[in-house]
Amino acid sequence: MLVYTHEHMTIAYLGPSGTYSELAAQQLNRGSAIPMPTIPAVFQAVADGKAALGVVPLENLIHGPVTETLDTFYRFADAIRIVDMRMVDVVHALGCLKPNTPIHRIFSKDVALQQCGHYLDAHYPAALRVAASSTAQAVSLIAEQKLTDAAAIARTATLCEAGFTILAENIGDVAHNRTRFAVIARDDAQSIPTGRDSTLLVIHPHSDRVGLLRDILHIISDRHGINLCNIHSRPDTQGGVRFYIEVEGHRDDHELSACLTDIEALLHGTGIRVAIFGSYPRISFAPSHIQTIGIIGGTGRMGQWLKSLFEKEGCRVLIAGRKTELTPEQCAERSDAVLINVPITETHNTIARIAPHMRKGTLLVDNTSIKADPVRAMLEYAPQGVEVLGMHTVFGPSTPDLKDQNVVFVRTDRSGALADHWIAMFYKHGAHITLSSCEEHDKQMAFHQNLEHFTKAITAHILHTQFNGEDMDAFASPNSRETLRILHRMLGQDPELFGQIQQFNEQGPAMITAFAEMAAKVAKSIAKGDSKAFTNCLKL
């Protein structure tokens, strides 16, 4: 995010007046906007100091990067930086000066012509498509030259202001087209980290080298765990290519700064140019409908761990607990998604208390190691129109990150787009996602938690009552040493939590009973001097 030091400033944009670039410039709410005839002219105005800021189209939802902008960034790499980003909804219309006449030519910006290709193919397949420097300039050309056989693709407002008749509206290839616009400034401008930023850089190899791109991506993704937003290649007019790479993070962030240092070290002495075009707030083409997340029970270590994850995704996080000023009911009323993250003993009652306060079009999630009762409760108490999703993060708050960690989700008949977005946040950061039913989840947990904890608790009891722990290691095999390590780790955790899991998993007792019956059968066989029952268990 750029810190604006002056209330009134000049902003250059791709003109003439009436373009989508002007709409993006107007979003800045600063100073006066002046139109420029071309994208390079916007850059030049900023570089020369004639404008404090510039606004140029960077990427479209349908047709990807605006290559003219990328190429111009390379030319001005030493003088210009991206300092901010804006998103504009693009709704194309078709208009002409004189209705009821044949249309032989259609004028617009080249990318706009491409974005409306399906409509033009269906309705004006024989019309010549003529590229202009902008959508607004296409309208001006037709109006100034009084071209009665031509039509222009532009904003509806721009066409109407020029006195055109609207032939068709919303003619883009997709219903919700959008364009990202880069806000540029001179290289001494300061962009302040927001916590949800991206950085654009270019790497220009002057000669081919096998594995170069792989080595760079290894540094970004594997060594530093930085998410790659996109990558584009552009010809350098000399037979080579330039790689434009957008990554998550601000160049002043510790991890990204270290990553950029490692890339420069890899390429040192090779003559390969690395240029950073700037850091700016990250904006997605698919805007999140989850802007605010409330965590009920978020004051503990796991709640704080999840808070950090959600904030990385640009979400505002509200925390409600026993001692917070914000009440759980207020948290639910103010959030787009609510996460119930309380002890198992309190989960059902908390859901019953909080769910009725949620608005239609929001999401309710629980994070509990059992699923049958919490999901039933959410479906019962959440108002219709509230999505319901069960979740179990199968790890603790000492885990450094989500990479390769198991997260189980239980979708319900009331899980929709918000639930999809929630799951995607965990998938994005490397979690291993499993979709399950309540019954399958609780059966699995009856083995992985109930039975696992039960057998370890009994083993710990025997260890404490029959052995001197200090002598154990001298007799330990590799397998038993691993068992002792797990026992020591479990004994250092909250025994009440393990007890709650035994109490509330409806499938736990049957699993432990099956174990006890088999254990008794095998023990009886061994006591009689017959090990066959024992060896048969291992053969299975």
CA–CA–CA angle 515, 516, 518 (5° rounding): 65
Give dist(CA 335, CA 438) in Å, integer: 26
Check whether 6 has a pLDDT greater than 60. Answer: no
Architecture category of domain 292-436 in CATH: 3-Layer(aba) Sandwich (3.40)
- Going by the DSSP 8-state scheme, the letter that residue 17 receives in this structure is T
Check whether 208 has a pLDDT greater than 80. Answer: no
- Say what the pLDDT of residue 7 is: 54
Is the domain 193-285 a CATH 3.40.50.1860 member?
Answer: no
- Say what the pLDDT of residue 473 is: 82
Mean pLDDT of the chain: 91
Q: What is the mean pLDDT of residues 262-273?
A: 86
Give dist(CA 330, CA 477) in Å, integer: 55
Residue carrying the six token digits 């693709």: 153
> Band of the pLDDT at 313, cuts 50, 70, 90?
confident
- Say what the pLDDT of residue 464 is: 84
- Say what the pLDDT of residue 2 is: 57
Signed CA dihedral, 141, 147, 150, 154: sign only: positive
Evaluate whether 92-171 and 193-285 have a shared fold.
no
The residue that leads in pLDDT, 440 or 111, is 440
Q: What burial class does residue 536 get, using C-beta atoms within 10 Å of its C-beta: 0-12 exposed, 13-18 middle, 19+ buried? A: exposed
Q: How many CB atoms lie within 10 A of CB 50?
A: 13
Q: What is the mean pLDDT of residues 457-476?
A: 84
Q: Distance between alpha carbon 106 and the CA centroid of its chain, in Å?
A: 38
Give dist(CA 72, CA 515) in Å, integer: 70
Check whether 470 has a pLDDT greater than 80. Answer: no
Largest alpha-carbon pair distance within the chain?
Answer: 107
| CATH (residue range 92-171) | 3.40.190.10
- Say what the pLDDT of residue 540 is: 62
Check whether 400 has a pLDDT greater than 70. Answer: yes
- Say what the pLDDT of residue 11 is: 95
Task: Report CA-CA distances (Å) from 502 to 302, 350, 444, 507.
Answer: 21, 20, 13, 9
- Say what the pLDDT of residue 471 is: 79
- Say what the pLDDT of residue 469 is: 66
Whole-model pTM over 0.75: yes
- Say what the pLDDT of residue 370 is: 95
Q: What burial class does residue 212 get, using C-beta atoms within 10 Å of its C-beta: 0-12 exposed, 13-18 middle, 19+ buried? A: middle
Asked whether 371 and 390 are in contact (CB, 8 A), the reply is yes
Pairs from 496-502 (Cβ < 8 Å, separation ≥ 24): 497/343, 497/344, 498/453, 498/457, 500/343, 500/344, 500/345, 501/344, 501/369, 501/370, 501/445, 501/449, 501/450, 501/453, 502/450, 502/453, 502/454
Q: Domains of the chain: which residue ranges?
A: 92-171, 193-285, 292-436, 441-539
- Say what the pLDDT of residue 62 is: 85
- Say what the pLDDT of residue 3 is: 52
